[in-house]
Amino acid sequence: MSVAGLEVSVDGDVLRLAGRLDFGNAAAAYRTIGARLAAGIARIDLSALGQADSATLACLLAWRAQSEHAGRALVFSAVPESLRALAQVSGVDVLLRDATPAAV
């Protein structure tokens, strides 16, 4: 499935994002992926995510909250360093604490 510049694929309980997730497509991506979380997604793989901004961070945090509200954990893997830095500057890096960093 895709959302305006963002490819979304699911393999078991892992959802992979490829392309861009930014202000231009964040609302559509939030709804689309939010609906998939109910199917038991446990990890979102960001290794192929290109463009990201504060809207990306907002989506990640909202998806995590949605999963926690449903009693499930959600982990992010291969979080781009730029997104980690944005989370740190925003004071929400602790909410990405379970995430694994992107390969350098």
Q: What's the predicted TM-score (pTM) here?
A: 0.88
Q: Is residue 101 part of a domain?
A: no
Q: Is residue 63 part of a domain?
A: yes
CB of 101 closer than 8 Å to CB of 81: yes
Q: Which tens digits make up the pLDDT trace of 13-69?
A: 999 999 999 999 999 999 999 888 888 899 999 999 998 899 999 999 999 999 999
Inform me whether the pLDDT recorded for 3 exceeds 90: no
Q: Is residue 103 part of a domain?
A: no
Q: Is residue 102 part of a domain?
A: no
Measured between alpha carbons, how far is 46 from 34 in angstroms, rounded to an integer?
Answer: 16
Q: Is residue 57 part of a domain?
A: yes
Inform me whether the pLDDT recorded for 99 exceeds 90: no
What pLDDT score was predicted for residue 98? 62
CB of 59 closer than 8 Å to CB of 31: no
Q: What is the residue range of 79's domain?
A: 2-96
Q: Which tens digits make up the pLDDT trace of 70-95?
A: 999 999 999 999 999 999 999 998 87
Q: Is residue 54 part of a domain?
A: yes
What pLDDT score was predicted for residue 94? 82
What pLDDT score was predicted for residue 104? 46
What pLDDT score was predicted for residue 100? 60
Measured between alpha carbons, how far is 47 from 76 in angstroms, rounded to an integer?
Answer: 10
CATH number of the structural domain spanning residue 43 = 3.30.750.24
Query: Tokens in use for 94?
Result: 């602790």
Q: Which residues contact 95 (CB under 8 A, 6 or more apart)?
A: 61, 64, 87
Tally of structural domains, the chain: 1
Q: Which helix (H) or strand (E) holds 8?
A: strand 6-11
What pLDDT score was predicted for residue 62? 96
Q: Is residue 47 part of a domain?
A: yes
